[in-house]
Amino acid sequence: MRTAGGAAAAAGAATATAGTAAAQEEQPVWPSGASGGNLGEYLDARGESEVTVEVGANDDGLAFAPTLLWVDTGTTITFEWTGAGGAHNVVTVEGEAALDSGDPVGEEGYTYEYETTEEDAGITHYHCVPHDAVGMHGGIAVGEDVETESTGGGGGGNAVLIPQGARALAIATFIAMMSTLGLAFVFMKYGGTITQQE
């Protein structure tokens, strides 16, 4: 019984350690306007030559996905319209990258491409002009020379997502611990012996 409890505790500790490791991920320090954007999805796409950002993501079509994106210089970012949420555009609020897709468009499949250069190094906050007030904002970090911080969960754009495998391990650990405690209760209460009546 102690062995089973010890194994369950060890599995729980492993899960907690995995969560702590995930919580130490380095992310750029995003401007509040960018990190407060709808959806809040983050993608580290450094090492990728091309990446796509959905324009009109989320259930209501009022988000960029990923909302926050970290890329290298020379990466081609393709903004692709989903056709949801009305007419959108992509325009820089502040930062080095001069994003400007033009007039708002609502057509599904419409694209706007932007190739990052050395001049875009840093963090850019952008938005959809027609949906600025409802939180359709995003951010792009370009290059390695950006201020970073360790993410620590707590919700918002910097929330740390627990991988499916870790989540399943946590659930299995909880079930194993509860089963062990239940069996311990039965053995302690009833002594684990069966008496025969004559």
- pLDDT (tens digit, 9 = 90+) per residue, 164-177? 566 677 788 888 88
| Domain ranges within the chain, ordered by starting residue | 2-23+162-190, 26-158
- Residue 77 near residue 69, CB atoms below 8 Å: yes
Confidence category of residue 162, pLDDT binned at 50, 70, 90: very low
DSSP state of 95: S
Helices (H), the chain: 2-23, 32-35, 164-190
Q: What is the pLDDT of residue 43?
A: 97
Helix (H) or strand (E) holding 126: strand 122-127
Average pLDDT over residues 111-133: 98
- Among 70, 71, 65, 77, which Cα is nearest to 41's? 65
Residue 39: the pLDDT is 93
Mean pLDDT of 20-45: 85
Dump pLDDT digits (tens) for 42-57.
Answer: 999 999 999 999 999 9
Question: What's the pLDDT at 174?
Answer: 81
Q: Domain 26-158 classified CATH 1.20.1050.10?
A: no
Confidence category of residue 108, pLDDT binned at 50, 70, 90: very high
Q: What is the mean pLDDT of the chain?
A: 83
pLDDT at 8: 45
Q: Is the dihedral of CA 34, 40, 45, 46 positive or negative?
A: positive
